[in-house]
Amino acid sequence: MAISSFELRRVMGHFATGLTVVTTVSAEGEPSGLTANAVASVSLNPPLVLVCVDKTAESHPHFTASKVFTINILNEQQENVSRRFAGKGPDKFVGVACRPGANQAPILDGVLAYIECRLVAAYEGGDHTIYLGEVEEASTQEGRPLLFFRGGYRQLDG
Ligand SMILES: Cc1cc2nc3c(=O)[nH]c(=O)nc-3n(C[C@H](O)[C@H](O)[C@H](O)COP(=O)(O)O)c2cc1C
């Protein structure tokens, strides 16, 4: 018998992750973004990363429209940013300090790292689409990560 969505989410919640806001732009050039932890490094040569995006997400169509996205890795002070981008609506970027990257997708101020990508493939992944991006620019800064474990926000202990 297939595992229920609830149980899969509960079990996968034991796999501790960082948190990101993945940004892109609409065909009209409007910024778009969502909180995501289904993010992974795929290949070093060529440099490829992926993000899995729910097909019902408002940001979902913008990835293929613009063919760019940026993974913003959040620091431990950015739980409010994660909560905001896990919500819905057109006002997510209001009051959020950010700038357009070289690929035009927003880079949020203060993030631990950002990874600018050009979309190279989109794969079926059940109720999500797996967006594969080639890394064009990336940068880090000092700080500590925001973590997610067993359904809650966490910080490094020590
Ligand atoms: C901790 C956490 C992790 C999440 N990870 C993902 C993810 O990897 N992929 C995804 O599509 N949605 C993920 N979400 C849900 C989206 O952030 C949420 O559905 C958001 O409202 C989508 O925004 P949009 O509809 O404006 O695109 C996550 C939410 C939380 C709180």
- What is the DSSP track for 33-90? EEEE--EEEEETTTTEEEEEEETTSTTHHHHHHH-EEEEEEPBTT-HHHHHHHTS-ST
Cα 19 from Cα 36, distance rounded (Å): 6
- pLDDT of residue 1 exceeding 80: no
- pLDDT of residue 79 exceeding 90: yes
Region at 77 (left for phi over 0; alpha for psi -120 to 50; beta for the rest): alpha
Q: What is the pLDDT confidence band of residue 90, given thresholds at 50, 70 and 90?
A: confident
- pLDDT of residue 154 exceeding 90: yes
Cα 49 from Cα 55, distance rounded (Å): 19
**Strand, helix or coil for residue 42:** strand
pLDDT score recorded for residue 113: 98
Radius of gyration of the chain (CA): 15
- pLDDT of residue 130 exceeding 90: yes
* Pocket lining: 79 vs ligand 1, CB cutoff 6 Å: no
pLDDT score recorded for residue 62: 98
More confident of the two residues 39 and 1: 39
pTM value > 0.85: yes
Domain ranges of the chain: 19-143
* Pocket lining: 52 vs ligand 1, CB cutoff 6 Å: yes
**For the domain with range 19-143, which CATH number is right: 1.10.4160.10, 3.30.70.20, 2.30.110.10, 3.40.50.970?**
2.30.110.10
Taking a C-beta distance cutoff of 8 angstroms, is the pair 21, 74 a contact? yes
Taken as a whole, the chain contains a residue count of 158
Mutate to test the pocket of ligand 1, among 5, 21, 34 (most ligand atoms within 8 A of CB): 34
